[in-house]
A and B are shown apart, each in its own frame.
Chain A
């Protein structure tokens, strides 16, 4: 990371990464006596793919929940777009342009793919309940505009063939893709992916990796992802944060992290004497 400046840096494959958009400063999170996250600081830069890795129970998902406003850390500050972010509800975080997917799929099972993805546009729908019910004028216009965005996302994620299929009928890999679609429909500036490839076979993982890269490339979306598959993480991400027992034990490019002794110990285990 030799040429990293406050303004940004250029990756090996020629992508331009911007300045810091979000910064975690000394975050600590406790549930009663259990310490989930202990004094963690790291930053996220505009347009990069930032991975958070670590063994089971390291606090990765908690970290993502802190970013998306599901959990509120007892200590520490979150700076977003140069401003200190006050404690916020998840929907307020979403309104700031941060969208996410969940580790255990959280879709509306009875609804079609199209309707599920449309829910990603709720933030952009301003017409009131009454107007929606009558479905004339503004409400109709809004629906058409939002449907156009959703259709682009459906096209992008190659889910045209399941547009009208209820989610409950889909296999797991496709459900994951629908979740990504819903998050993308919100046109987020930061996309949080909680284990997007968990439980997938090799082919599905390859597809998903390609989608993640394409999203980043086409829309310039900043992506923060948690992932267990080391191969995937090392291939996809620009920088990696490594957590273990709620602590940060490494931070840097995939190569730096791979050669970090603490990280090796955390993953392979070390003799305590």
Chain B
């Protein structure tokens, strides 16, 4: 099957669009569920929609080189907006739609966008709020007109109105549009994406057509993606992963991008579509696993028994069968039986029944979670990447999947490990530069195109796979000089459905301690079954029996850590359960839900002190930010628990 023709002619995303619309125009390119029905657009229709919008943008005065902010959840309109912006020579800048006004202001100011294409009143309100300080923002285009009737429409336009004007002015501007499209080359800017910024202010990563198309091409070939794939687009559009999967690879291969009805319906929509190619950060897999476990707790005794029996068997032989390794006939038979009764229905419920290739990335995934999915026969693999690399740095080839490595260098990527242990890479996907930030560019991108990842890692001697230890900045040393790898311990804790998030401390100290966030779904369900009443997250988080449960989990992790000579000293000695969930609105996490360690450390300094001074409880008051940007305070008295640790003699061995 050859669906990757016309290589030389396609040097930009709009060119790929034209190729797809010409070669297989009747194939479905976009689906979105609206009003309870999956609405479809073929490649030919999508090209028309995008052209109408592009003409409308020219009519509105968009010049080549302008920045166009795109703010909304995954909807075909916003994917079209990005390609339309590219068609007229402008640069699309997708932003996180759940960002609060001040965050948005920083990014809007930094890129100097003259135009913004946004979802609804909420986004329009945010932009209007910051508009006075953004002198360059001229026009806002919205998709959903609801609630906007009374707004001043001098600078505010409906999406379909812009398209209408574009269609009306076709004769006038089509030549201009063609000319602009033809000017696009491999070197022109494809998109600018802001990094989530685990440390400091977000940086605008400029990616060229070369970066995106080369990365999409080689990764598609690596996994043999075809135009028959189905993907569900539900991850933030501002994230590089979504750009690569839902635009880069989708346009390269010509597969269909499905958009869920709303953020809340993602799970049922996933089932309806049954994607063949699926991508999710570890958090999504963790949540799904938690839900499965909760529902099994509620299931009838027979079903629970069946589930337990077959899951034990799946864990034993499932991954081996998936990797094509030899497995005995009886075990195979039993696995087939399990497929019929447990794995098949379960995969179907999860919406993963048709997944041929699944990836997880963004953060390390707990090995237990990873193995759970693989044992069901889902080809879940890990990749390691970052925005600056147009995602791909390493990938796991089929049949060589392990939970503790991130795979081999992606096609076209070269990797070297510096003397300090930091991972460097060089590839066709390597970003051009950070926008308006030559210092950072120079700090990250070295001579001959090598880029520092900021992560510490090494190549496994046995199989040549890359192993990432932790963020180079996070890996530290305990007071006695032994290695401190917080992520590793946190992931072990997070495997328990009851624990949503954990932050482990210990850098420069003599013992490790932890903050824990409970998972409201899991613990709430448990509370319901045990007749424990609670009025709020805070109350449940402070309940003595909840603390007992968490303590049991921590102690179990400690026992498991004790058996690992490298990390036995990272056992958690004391912990507390936080009175609020760590939240991106409070700056404690990035919008991609990675914990900002330094900020958490600073904000809860009092709690951290209490973890180390031996106190039994502590009163604290915390500022919280609501979704609309207002602030408030919550206060609580938190209990601090000591967890049993397994004594280790490893220090002695290491010292000798």
Binding site for B on A (CB under 8 A): 13-15, 147-148, 151-152, 154-156, 158, 160-161, 163, 210, 213-214, 217-218
Q: Nearest chain B CB to A85's CB is how many angstroms away?
A: 32
- The residue of chain B having its C-beta at the shortest distance from the C-beta of A148 within the complex is B35
Per the bound structure, the CA–CA distance linking A260 and B261 in Å amounts to: 48
Enumerate B33-53 residues with CB–CB distance to A below 8 Å.
Answer: 34-37
Query: Could you say which residues of chain A place their CB within 8 Å of the CB of B224?
Result: none
Chain A residues closer than 8 Å to B147, beta-carbon distance = 210, 213-214, 217-218
Contact A214 B36 (CB under 8 A): no
Enumerate B1-58 residues with CB–CB distance to A below 8 Å. Answer: 34-37
Judging by beta carbons under 8 Å apart, are A163 and B36 in contact?
A: yes
Name the contact of B35 in the complex, choosing from A14, A151, A217 (C-beta under 8 A): A151
B contact residues, range: 10 to 19
A217 contacts B36, CB within 8 Å?
A: no
A22 to B262 Cα, complex, angstroms: 39
Kindly list chain A residues whose C-beta atoms are within 8 Å of the C-beta of B268. Answer: 161
Select B34's contact among A15, A155, A156, A214, beta carbons within 8 Å.
A155
Listed A/B pairs (23) with beta-carbon separation below 8 Å: A13-B150, A14-B150, A151-B36, A151-B37, A152-B35, A154-B35, A155-B35, A156-B146, A158-B262, A160-B36, A160-B261, A160-B262, A160-B264, A160-B265, A161-B262, A161-B268, A213-B147, A214-B146, A214-B147, A217-B147, A217-B149, A218-B146, A218-B149
Chain A residues whose CB sits within 8 angstroms of the CB of B36 once the complex forms: 147, 151, 154, 160, 163
Minimum distance in angstroms from A232 CB to a CB of chain B:
17
Q: Mark contacts of B509-541 with chain A using CB atoms, 8 A cut-off: 1 yes-contact digit, 0 otherwise.
A: 000000000000000000000000000000000
A206 to B, closest residue via Cβ: B628
Query: Which residues of the other chain, B, contact A158 by a CB distance below 8 angstroms?
Result: 262
Q: Are A15 and B35 in contact (CB under 8 A)?
A: no
B150 contacts A217, CB within 8 Å?
yes
Distance between Cα atoms of A163 and B269 in the complex (Å): 12
Known contacts A160-B262, A217-B149; 15 further A-B pairs (Cβ under 8 A): A14-B150, A15-B150, A151-B36, A151-B37, A152-B35, A154-B36, A155-B34, A156-B146, A160-B265, A161-B262, A161-B268, A163-B36, A213-B147, A214-B147, A218-B149
B265 proximity list for chain A (CB < 8 A): 160-161
Contacting residues, chain B, for A15 (C-beta < 8 A): 150
Chain A, Cβ-Cβ closest to B628? A206
Question: Chain A nearest CB: distance from B538 CB in Å?
Answer: 15
- Residues of B near A214 (CB, < 8 A) are 146-147
Q: Which residues of B contact A217 (CB under 8 A)?
A: 147, 149-150
Q: Across the two chains, which residue of chain B brings its CB closest to A156? A: B146
Q: Top 6 A-B pairs ranked by shortest CB distance?
A: A161-B264, A151-B35, A151-B36, A161-B265, A160-B261, A160-B262
- Closest residue of A by beta carbon distance from B147: A214
> A139–B268 Cα gap in the complex (Å)?
29
Contacting A at CB under 8 A, from B132-190, are: 146-147, 149-150
A interface majority secondary structure: helix
Complex: how many Å from CA A41 to CA B443?
A: 76
Q: Report the minimal beta-carbon distance from B123 to chain A, rounded to whole angstroms.
A: 15
C-alpha gap A235/B485 in the complex (Å): 53
Task: For A155, give the chain B residue with the smallest CB separation.
Answer: B35
Interface flags, B224-268, vs A, CB<8A=1, else 0 = 000000000000000000000000000000000000011011001
Query: Which has the most chain A C-beta neighbours within 10 Å: B35, B262, B264?
Result: B35
A49 to nearest B CB, angstroms? Answer: 15
State in angstroms the CA–CA spacing of A63 and B616 once bound together: 59
Residue of A nearest to B266 (CB): A161
B264: A residues at CB distance < 8 A: 160-161
| Residues in B neighbouring A148, C-beta threshold 8 A | 35
- Give CA–CA (A265, B149) in the complex, Å: 40
Write out the residue numbers on chain B whose beta carbons fall within 8 Å of the beta carbon of A163: 36
Closest chain B CB from A16 CB (angstroms): 11
- For the complex, what is the distance from the CA of A114 to the CA of B35, rounded to whole Å? 12
Min CB–CB distance A257 → chain B (angstroms): 24
Residues on B with C-beta less than 8 A from A160 are: 36, 261-262, 264-265
Inter-chain CA distance A147–B36, complex, in Å, is: 9
Q: What CA separation (Å) do A138 and B616 show in the bound complex? A: 72
- Return A187 CB to nearest CB of chain B, in Å: 16
- Determine how close the nearest CB of chain B comes to the CB of A64; give it in whole angstroms: 27
For A154, list chain B residues within 8 Å (CB): 35-36
CB distance from B580 to the nearest CB of A (A): 16
Task: Collect the chain A residues with CB atoms within 8 Å of residue B150's CB.
Answer: 13-15, 217
Say how far A158's CB is from chain B's closest CB, in angstroms: 7
Give the residues in chain B near A213, CB-CB below 8 Å.
Answer: 147
Chain A: minimal CB distance from B81 (Å): 21
- List residues of chain B with CB within 8 A of the CB of A13: 150
- B521, chain A: closest CB distance, angstroms: 14
Q: Which residues of B contact A151 (CB under 8 A)?
A: 35-37
* Cα of A63 to Cα of B75 in the assembled complex, Å: 46
State how many angstroms separate the Cβ of B179 from the closest Cβ of chain A.
40
Residues of B within 8 A of A218 (CB): 146-147, 149
Q: How far is the CB of A120 from chain B (nearest CB, A)?
A: 16
Q: How far is the CB of B143 from chain A (nearest CB, A)?
A: 13
Q: How far is the CA of A158 from the CA of B34 in the complex (A)?
A: 12
- Alpha-carbon separation in the docked complex, A148 to B150 (Å): 27
A155 to B33, CA, bound (A): 11
- Nearest CB of B to A152, in Å: 6
Q: In the complex the two chains form, what is the Cα distance from A14 to B150 in whole Å? A: 8
Query: How many angstroms from the CA of A218 to the CA of B145 in the assembled complex?
Result: 10
The CA of A161 and the CA of B147, in the complex, are separated in Å by 22
In Å, the complex CA distance between A128 and B268 comes to 34
| B residues less than 8 Å from A147 (CB atoms) | 36
Q: How far is the CB of A236 from chain B (nearest CB, A)?
A: 14
**Closest beta carbon of chain A to B262's beta carbon, Å:** 5
A217 to B151, CA, bound (A): 12
Q: Which of A13, A161, A214, A217 has the most CB of B within 10 A?
A: A161
Alpha-carbon gap, A214 to B268, bound state (A): 28
CA distance A213 to B147 in the complex (A): 8
Closest approach, in angstroms, between the C-beta of A17 and any C-beta of chain B? 14
CA distance A151 to B39 in the complex (A): 14
CB A214 to nearest CB in B, in angstroms, measures: 6
Which B-chain residue is minimally distant from A13 (CB atoms)? B150
A164 to B149, CA, bound (A): 32
In the complex, what distance in Å separates the CA atom of A252 from the CA atom of B181?
A: 61
Shortest C-beta distance, B628 to chain A (Å), equals: 9
A273–B562 Cα gap in the complex (Å)? 81
CA A124 to CA B35, docked complex, whole Å = 19
Shortest beta-carbon distance from A254 to chain B in Å = 19
User: Bound state CA distance, A111 and B397, in angstroms?
Assistant: 49
For B33, the closest partner residue in chain A by CB is: A160
B34, B36, B37, B147: residue with the most chain A Cβ atoms closer than 10 Å = B36
A161 CB to nearest chain B CB (Å) = 4
A218 nearest in chain B by CB position = B146
